[in-house]
Amino acid sequence: MRRRRGIALLLAALLLAGLPAAPAGAADAPARRHGLSAFGDLKYPPDFRHFDYVNPAAPKGGELRAWQLDSFDNLNPLILKGVMAQDLSLAYESLMSRALDEPDAVYGSIAASAELPDDHGWVAFNIDPRARWDDGSPITAADVVFTLDAVKKDGHPLYQLILRDVVSAEAEGAQRVVFRFAETESRRDLSLIVAGLPIMQKAWFAGRDFASPVIAPPPSSGPYRIARVDAGRSIVFERKPDWWGRDLPAHRGQYNFDWIREDYYRDRDIAVEAFFAGEYDYREEITARVWATGYRGKPAFDAGKIKREVLKDGTPSGVQAWFLNSRRPQLADPRVRQAINLAYDFEWMNKTLFYGLYKRTRSMFENSDLAAEGLPSPAELALLEPWRGRIPPEVFTTEYRPPVADGSGRNRANLMRAQALLREAGWQVKDGRLADAEGRPFELEFLLYEPGFQRIVLPFMRNLELIGIRPTIRIVDITAFENRMRSFDFDVVGRRFAQPLTPGVEQRNFWSSASAATVGSYNLSGIRDPAVDDLVEHIVTAKSREELRAATRALDRVLMWGWYVVPNWYSGTVKLAWWDRFRRPATKPDYAVGLLETWWLDPAQDKALNLPRQR
């Protein structure tokens, strides 16, 4: 735990090192900041000792065993190719670390401080002179410059899109780096984005193709190193007891397990049984059937060895939905997309398949105050009025609600409305099937990578058949699924995208016309709408949370009334189950579970359970 005097000594050391206070040509040097946020509102003062949601005296030691679904073949978190392993942030640190109880704040990590002028035209980071790679070499400004340049040239298109207004990164000595931003109004969040970029070692990538997947672990800058990799099957993270950043305020009381092992399972049901057999330690349960019926009767649960709790989820749920690919000719007409929405019977599915545990998604920003509700406010209308006549008229007159069925499973009224919309769109019934003017049948393929998800799709497909659509399922392995997603080679795909608490430039990647043609973007529905582009830019350039809220809600209305998705469900909670061998802080972070970061092992409980160890 660093005291105020320690911070003062560190800043003095940086100044004595001859670091310039601002980029060349800057008139007035901005003050050094211990943290950054989009609108400048930080919870923790410069002399804070640790986050409120940690136990600063948490003991270190032991092993945490986790699980992941499917497979992986890549340990570089910044590229498109391959299937990335999960939780790589344990090994690759960024310039600043996020606080899990604030919407968007980050605090010093690799960078001890930052400087940001009022116009956000650039940001400078002063690297902690203690920062080291796990091979013992210092983390330098050259590593940061290399990372940005490599990502802008060969990185994931998602990063390339959100970093497009970052003009350059320049090293001003070994421990200072300056990012310069384009002359644009949309640079509010750019300092946060570059502050959160995982930093990779320049020397290690010399002679390697940055864009190609790597399975040999690059040097680690974070609290863990990758100790062992069994490609596609497991990965073991080893805590570094001498990690240079262990006593920083942003890290104290965190990363308490000596080992974190993650095993990959190809099948969810097999993974469930492995949990009850003690093969791994915890589950965030996302399957209603398992939560409702899968625990009672299991010896370990009935004996109290496995604990369960429903935790409040303070993060936006975003959208979980069937994304309809409007690039496909049969899905280009919004009337057709609305008809498909009418065939989705959530009320029956929630009662029959989900044990009534879910609520219906109605927003791209669900479970947050960013979701549109009621009719547009005056601030929203100011943004929407220029597009009147070019966006759905319902945006101005009607609160969006997804179609509602009576829960009987018949859904007759909605299916009749769907058929009428399809006729309006030019589809006619021929030999019991819908066909276009040339006689081509209306075919719709659902792309899946989990066989178990068929039980969710089949009731939807039966209703689609009733209105004349010919639905099919294509199940592929995870690699093929990712490749088809990246190239938008699908008709319908189910995905969930969580939204940040402070939406910004990443919204371009979800909705903008430019992202519709960007390989690897998250604009799965292929949205190309100048009104959407304009509203996205209002989000990016919002100067206050009030402006941000108005812009986000206005965008939400246009997207939902465009029928680009068939909204699924959300719970607004985290359903967590774990073997009772851990302890946790009294306070849970508002915007995360915090298990990997803040929990610790109880040695007595661990010994009593005597669970298998595989490390």
- The whole-angstrom separation of Cα 273 and Cα 263 is 14
pLDDT of residue 615: 55
Fold of 1-281+581-615: D-Maltodextrin-Binding Protein; domain 2 (3.40.190)
pLDDT of residue 185: 80
pLDDT of residue 453: 87
> Is the distance from CB of 600 to CB of 576 less than 8 angstroms?
no
pLDDT per residue as tens digits for the range 252-268: 999 999 999 999 999 99
- Which phi-psi region, left, alpha or beta, contains residue 484 (left: φ > 0; alpha: ψ -120 to 50)? alpha
> Is the distance from CB of 306 to CB of 295 less than 8 angstroms?
yes
SS3 state at 602: coil
Fold of 319-569: Dipeptide-binding Protein; domain 3 (3.10.105)
> Is the distance from CB of 362 to CB of 399 less than 8 angstroms?
no
- Indicate the DSSP class of residue 97: E
SS3 state at 560: helix
Report angle CA 226, 229, 233 to the nearest 5 degrees. Answer: 130
Q: What is the pTM of this model?
A: 0.85
Amino acid identity of residue 424, one-letter, is: E
> Is the distance from CB of 70 to CB of 286 less than 8 angstroms?
no
For 377-421, what is the HEC assignment? CHHHHHHHHHHECCECCHHHHCCCCCCCCCCCCCCHHHHHHHHHH
Task: Supply φ then ψ for residue 483, to 5 degrees.
Answer: -65, -40
pLDDT of residue 29: 78
> Is the distance from CB of 61 to CB of 258 less than 8 angstroms?
yes
Shortest CA distance to 84 belongs to which of 225, 222, 232?
232
SS3 state at 240: coil
Q: Which residues contact 335 (CB under 8 A, 6 or more apart)?
A: 421, 422, 424, 425
pLDDT of residue 25: 40
Shortest CA distance to 30 belongs to which of 42, 17, 40, 43?
40
Shortest CA distance to 380 belongs to which of 404, 366, 400?
400
Q: Packing angle between helix 530-541 and helix 545-561, nearest 10 degrees?
A: 160
Low-confidence stretches of the chain (pLDDT < 50) are: 1-27
Q: Which two tokens stand for residue 130?
A: 């203690």
- The whole-angstrom separation of Cα 334 and Cα 393 is 13
SS3 state at 534: helix
* Strands, sheet with 63-69, edge to edge from the N-terminal-most edge strand: 63-69, 259-265, 234-239, 224-230
Burial of 220 (0-12, 13-18, 19+ CB in 10 A): buried
Strand residues in 338-377 grouped as ranges (E): 359-360
Q: Which residue bears the tokens 């570089």?
A: 76
pLDDT of residue 28: 62
pLDDT of residue 13: 30
> Is the distance from CB of 98 to CB of 105 less than 8 angstroms?
yes
Shortest CA distance to 108 belongs to which of 215, 263, 305, 245?
245
pLDDT of residue 158: 86
Q: Which residues contact 252 (CB under 8 A, 6 or more apart)?
A: 1, 49, 50, 54, 56, 246
pLDDT of residue 5: 31
pLDDT of residue 222: 97
> Is the distance from CB of 139 to CB of 110 less than 8 angstroms?
yes
Amino acid identity of residue 127, one-letter, is: I
> Is the distance from CB of 271 to CB of 70 less than 8 angstroms?
no
Residue 16: CB atoms within 10 Å: 8
- The whole-angstrom separation of Cα 453 and Cα 555 is 30
Q: Which two tokens stand for residue 108?
A: 């010093």
Burial of 496 (0-12, 13-18, 19+ CB in 10 A): middle
Task: Supply φ then ψ for residue 309, to 5 degrees.
Answer: -155, 145
Task: Supply φ then ψ for residue 223, to 5 degrees.
Answer: -70, -15
The domain limits of the chain are: 1-281+581-615, 319-569
Shortest CA distance to 260 belongs to which of 610, 597, 605, 607?
597
Shortest CA distance to 339 belongs to which of 422, 274, 224?
422
Q: Are strands 306-312 and 492-497 parallel, antiparallel or unpaired?
A: unpaired
Residues 57-80 as b or e (16 or more Cβ within 10 Å = b): ebeeebbbbbbbebbbbbbbbbbb
- The whole-angstrom separation of Cα 597 and Cα 251 is 9
Widest Cα–Cα separation across the chain: 84
> Is the distance from CB of 319 to CB of 566 less than 8 angstroms?
no
Amino acid identity of residue 495, one-letter, is: R
- Indicate the DSSP class of residue 136: S
Residue 27: CB atoms within 10 Å: 6
